């Protein structure tokens, strides 16, 4: 049964505020893309309704979740063959808890998924299946949002590929892209995630969020038009520029199916090494900072607590980065549709996503106790977190793009940090659009 209340109405204000904020930082405030705004919101809403509201949509979602489960099970077989019980196989020792499931080890049961999906994506690209899917989305973005063929194709590629790999699809056209188109490609790259990590996120969320795979897939898709819109607001296309055509003759090629699998494995291995390294370093940094915070805040608490009401007393022992992020980002979480009593927990996840990585944020979301976030809030946060927009990704993006476009290095460096805000807000806008839809649609 569908119903509507203030928690659904509030995200509409969030969309308006996000658009207003990007307009404030626009390079040309006189040129606001009204038609593109309508097109972007229509595409986002239409795509969500297509998968969640039409008859038999449950069968499509079940198919997506079934495919993800199948990929996870197939990956586990390969992981268990190589790593035995560390990958979820039978333990070579007697368990203290008979009948208990094997221990969950992230490095052996989630990261290998990235390897398998990377190889599968390369194979589907070589067989032209992924190319046609990308062309379809590129056509939609070209016709509904007025993008040039090259930038529409790169935007569509970003939905399924990484923010470094997708520019390779239009490598022959990179030197022809305008400043606005280059910025758009950066923002959409930060607003979406790669197909290889989508499955990993869905696997992490599956135990606590029904239809997790469907939500993660839709999240990456509908964040793309949001990224396009916010990028165009901040760096508008100059009249007469843009519209670079594309004949879909991609620079990304494989010699054979075996070559595609081999290179896909090599690319996937680099991704899981980077993910594992980032997780190790950032989790370590969080523990270091959380260990220092009580010492730093103790003198502040002694000074300020006598002047503050009891409800605002500073408690240094309870201070962590996550708690601080929670207070800072709670208003944003609340306005995109999270109830007030859950906003601090959700705000902490947004801060972790922005300043650490979305991978850590998804791990934290998957481990949040049931009573802290409702199922609806978990769903909204899945959309808000599903993007590469974080501080670490800026370095990855700059490194990849400058290697592809060395002559445009100064321009890339100038736009990189500017793209972080709209990339982050694009996923929040996607979450707000979903939160604005009537309750019961996703149940």
Per-residue pLDDT tens over the stretch 62-112: 676 677 667 777 777 787 777 776 666 666 655 555 555 555 666 776 777
Say what the pTM is. Answer: 0.81
Domain assignment present for 13: no
The whole-number pLDDT of residue 428 equals 94
In whole angstroms, how far apart are CA 332 and each of 29, 80, 138? 24, 42, 31
56-60, 130-134, 253-257: which range is least confident on average? 56-60
Which of 78, 146, 84, 138 shows the shortest CA–CA distance to 114? 78
User: How many CB atoms are closer than 10 A to CB 366?
Assistant: 17
- Cα 32–chain centre separation: 26
d(CA 204, CA 316): 32
80-94, 219-233, 330-344: which range is least confident on average? 80-94
Q: Are 107 and 276 in contact (CB under 8 A)?
A: yes
For residue 53, pLDDT over 70 is answered with no
Averaged pLDDT, 149-167: 72
Domain assignment present for 313: no
**Per-residue model confidence as pLDDT tens digits over 30-43:** 888 888 888 888 88
Domain assignment present for 408: no
Domain assignment present for 206: yes
Domain assignment present for 26: yes
For residue 382, pLDDT over 80 is answered with yes
Domain assignment present for 2: no
Share of the chain above pLDDT 90, in %: 14
Domain assignment present for 34: yes
Which range has the top average pLDDT, 249-253, 267-271, 361-365? 361-365
Total structural domains within the chain? 1
Q: What is the CA radius of gyration of the chain?
A: 22
Averaged pLDDT, 151-167: 73
- Domain carrying residue 202: 19-89+103-266
d(CA 131, CA 133): 5
Domain assignment present for 188: yes
């Amino acid at each position: 049964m569908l119903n509507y209340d203030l928690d659904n109405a509030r995200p509409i204000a969030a969309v308006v505020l996000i658009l207003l904020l990007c307009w404030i930082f626009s390079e040309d405030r006189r040129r606001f893309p009204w038609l593109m705004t309508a097109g972007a919101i229509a595409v986002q809403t239409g795509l969500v309704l297509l998968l969640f509201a039409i008859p038999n949509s449950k069968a499509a979602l079940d198919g997506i979740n079934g495919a993800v489960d199948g990929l996870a099970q197939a990956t586990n077989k390969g992981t268990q063959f190589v790593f035995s019980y560390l990958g979820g196989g039978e333990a070579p020792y007697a368990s203290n808890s008979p009948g208990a499931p094997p221990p969950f080890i992230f490095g052996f049961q989630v990261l290998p998924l990235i390897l398998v999906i990377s190889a599968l994506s390369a194979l589907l690209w070589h067989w032209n299946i992924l190319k046609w899917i990308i062309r379809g989305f590129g056509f939609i973005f070209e016709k509904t949002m007025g993008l040039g063929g090259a930038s529409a194709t790169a935007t569509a590629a970003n939905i399924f590929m990484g923010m470094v790999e997708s520019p390779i699809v239009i490598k022959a056209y990179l030197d022809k892209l305008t400043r606005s188109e280059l910025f758009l490609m950066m923002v959409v790259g930060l607003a979406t995630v790669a197909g290889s990590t989508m499955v990993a996120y869905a696997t992490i969320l599956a135990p606590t969020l029904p239809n997790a795979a469907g939500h993660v897939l839709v999240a990456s898709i509908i964040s793309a038009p949001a990224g396009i819109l916010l990028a165009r607001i901040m760096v508008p296309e100059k009249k007469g520029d843009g519209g670079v055509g594309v004949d879909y003759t991609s620079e990304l090629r494989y010699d054979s199916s075996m070559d595609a699998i081999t290179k896909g494995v090599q690319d996937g291995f680099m991704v899981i090494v980077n993910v594992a390294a980032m997780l190790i370093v950032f989790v370590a940094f969080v523990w270091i900072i959380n260990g220092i915070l009580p010492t730093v805040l103790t003198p502040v608490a002694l000074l300020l607590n006598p002047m503050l009401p009891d409800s605002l007393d500073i408690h240094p022992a309870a201070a962590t980065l996550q708690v601080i992020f929670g207070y800072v980002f709670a208003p944003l979480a609340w306005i995109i549709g999270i109830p007030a009593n859950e906003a601090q927990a959700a705000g902490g996840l947004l801060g972790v996503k922005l300043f650490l990585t979305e991978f850590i944020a998804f791990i934290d979301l998957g481990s949040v106790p049931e009573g802290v976030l409702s199922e609806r809030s978990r769903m909204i946060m899945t959309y808000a977190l599903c993007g590469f927009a974080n501080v670490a990704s800026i370095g990855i993006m700059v490194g990849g793009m400058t290697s592809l476009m060395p002559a445009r290095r100064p321009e890339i460096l100038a736009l990189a940090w500017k793209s972080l805000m709209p990339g982050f807000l694009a996923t929040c806008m996607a979450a707000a659009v979903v939160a604005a839809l009537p309750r019961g649609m996703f149940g």
